[in-house]
Amino acid sequence: MDPITAHVVIDRPREEVFEYLADIANHPEFSDHYMSQWRLTRVDSYGRGAGARFKLDAPLDRFSWGDMTFIEVSSPHKIVAAGRGGKFNRNKTWTTWTLSPAGNATRVEVTTESASALPTDKFIEAVTVRRGWYKRKLGKALSRMQSILEEDTDRGARATVGGL
């Protein structure tokens, strides 16, 4: 899937937004409307190497489990996560959060993309209306993150090891 990008401006300092995003246990709070059943892959949920497994609630998706692990955490401006999803976890995924100053606020841009392992995976991706669905879900996730950080509302559950 070609890269999909969404952005939002959050009225908080960049360091504060970075600290929130660098803890993968916080991600279900703003993305549980399309990713559910989050499980941490290690006890330490912060920084490089932190990861989680989750179920992607995409339409017409028979193989909905995926994972992501932070492979680059460059304070306070960039976080890159690599993962896998699809049948037998054979499709690679990348998600990048870029934080840049916007006056006293922070502009958060998230880009996600995937590489299909087989032509059949690419075909399934093309016939299921994924691109628009992902774009809408990413936009809503950023909007929810904005309300969490600016107003301390719309808080959800944090991910834990084993889903407890």
Residue 121 backbone dihedrals phi, psi, to 5 degrees:
-65, -40
Residue 142 maps to which CATH number? 3.30.530.20
Q: Please report, in angstroms and rounded to a whole number, the separation of the first and last CA atoms in the chain.
A: 33
* pLDDT for the residue 91: 87
Q: How far is CA 31 from the centre of its chain?
A: 7
Domain membership flag for residue 158: no
> How far is 106 from 55, CA to CA, in rounded Å?
29
Strand partners, 81: 70, 95
pLDDT in tens, 105-137: 999 999 998 887 778 767 766 666 577 888 999
Domain membership flag for residue 164: no
Which residues span the domain enclosing 126?
4-151
Residue 163 has pLDDT above 70, yes or no: no
What total number of domains does the chain contain?
Answer: 1
Token pair of 69 as six digits: 């692990």
The radius of gyration computed from the CA coordinates of the chain, to the nearest angstrom, equals: 15
Token pair of 79 as six digits: 């976080």
Domain membership flag for residue 135: yes
State percent of the chain over pLDDT 90.
65
Domain membership flag for residue 161: no
Domain membership flag for residue 18: yes
Other CB atoms within a 10 A radius of the CB of residue 162 amount to 6
* pLDDT for the residue 8: 97
